[in-house]
């Protein structure tokens, strides 16, 4: 796979736990976008040498009691916390429902079409 288009839910769970994450994924994609800071180390899933190097580095830091440098930032963990995700969902749902309450027509944003609102 050339591009990782999915964010495995388990990765979000691991990040929220505050533990370092070693992700094996394509260089382009969702996981790669999050791997620009501490907490998520990403290596190509087919590059055995890079996987071994990343694991060895993390293990060495573990032995030296400095694995904390790999911990995800508060900003990254907050992005995936249940409360944050629920708030974002509710805000989006509220924003999408608001025009329907004010109008008999609902615009489908980004598609340039409108559909008739069902009769109440």
101 and 118 share a domain?
yes
Give the model confidence (pLDDT) of 13-45 as tens digits: 888 988 888 989 888 888 888 776 778 889 998
CA-CA distance, 107 to 115, in Å (whole number)? 7
60 and 107 share a domain?
no
Q: Which percentage of the chain shows pLDDT scores above 90? A: 16
CB-neighbour burial class of residue 26 (10 A; exposed 0-12, middle 13-18, buried 19+): middle
76 and 87 share a domain?
no
* Domain span at 4: 1-80
Average pLDDT over residues 69-77: 85
CA-CA distance, 111 to 95, in Å (whole number)? 17
Total domains present in the chain = 2
Average pLDDT over residues 50-76: 90
74 and 97 share a domain?
no
Average pLDDT over residues 55-76: 89
**Secondary structure (H, E, C), the chain:** CCEECCCCHHHHHHHHCCCCEEEECCCEEHHHHHCCCCCEEEECCCCHHHHHHHHHHHHHHHHCCCHHHHCCCHHHHHHHCHHHHHHHHHHHHHHHHHHHHHCCEEEECCCCEEEECCCC
CA-CA distance, 84 to 89, in Å (whole number)? 9
């Amino acid at each position: 796979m050339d591009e990782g288009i999915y964010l495995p839910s388990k990765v979000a769970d691991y990040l929220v736990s505050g533990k370092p994450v070693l992700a094996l994924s394509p260089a382009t994609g969702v996981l790669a976008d999050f791997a620009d800071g501490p907490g998520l180390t990403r290596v190509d899933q087919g590059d055995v040498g890079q996987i071994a190097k990343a694991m060895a580095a993390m293990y060495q830091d573990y032995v030296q009691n400095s694995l904390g440098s790999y911990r995800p930032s508060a900003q990254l963990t907050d992005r995936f916390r249940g409360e944050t995700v629920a708030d974002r969902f509710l805000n989006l749902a509220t924003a999408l429902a608001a025009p329907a309450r004010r109008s008999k027509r609902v615009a489908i944003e980004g598609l340039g079409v409108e559909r008739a609102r069902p009769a109440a």
